[in-house]
Amino acid sequence: MTDETRVLYNADCPVCSFEIDHYAKYSDETGLPIAFEDLNTEDTTAWGMTPDEAARRLYVRKGGQTYSGIPAFIVLWRDMPRYRWLAWLVSLPGAHWAATKLYDHMAAPLIYRWHLRRQARATSPAPSRE
């Protein structure tokens, strides 16, 4: 078992890719053992989920355990020295509760709906011009 942190995210999502690309750049520049995997190009069955399930939230795997949502962010932030303060802050009981409610009930569902709309537009036929 490796101690490497693996992050599964949706690189086609502008919000997700903006944030995770920032973390990936920081991780690469500092040599952190964090792997960033795009659910659109990776085999999500290795994570035990379908691409649709994976698109619903952020997932992080570390030490053989998979985390999702705010706990996933906390694991990721703890592995990055620049963001450990944020992991500590969001781990505090009141902050953790509020962040989880915000992510689970507002941010993640909204971002997922945007994902579904992008997919629908990409697969719908172009309107005919007769």
Q: What is the pLDDT of residue 2?
A: 57
Closest CA to 115 of 51, 19, 46: 51
Residue 130 lies in a domain: no
**Rounded mean pLDDT, 74-101:** 97
Is 50 exceeded by the pLDDT of residue 1?
no
Look at residue 101 and tell me if it is in a domain: yes
Q: What is the number of domains present in the chain?
A: 1
What pTM was estimated for this model as a whole?
A: 0.89
Please return the burial class of 72, using the count of CB atoms within 10 Å of its CB with bins 0-12, 13-18 and 19+. buried
Q: Does a structural domain hold residue 22?
A: yes
pLDDT tens digit string along 51-79? Answer: 999 999 999 999 999 999 999 999 999 99
Instruction: Answer yes or no: is 129 within a domain.
Output: no
Which structural domain range is residue 87 located in?
5-123
pLDDT in tens, 6-54: 999 999 999 999 999 999 999 999 999 999 999 999 999 999 999 999 9
Within the chain, strands assigned E span 5-9, 34-38, 59-62, 65-68
Predicted local confidence at residue 130, as pLDDT: 60
The pLDDT of residue 102 is above 90: yes
Q: What is the pLDDT of residue 126?
A: 64
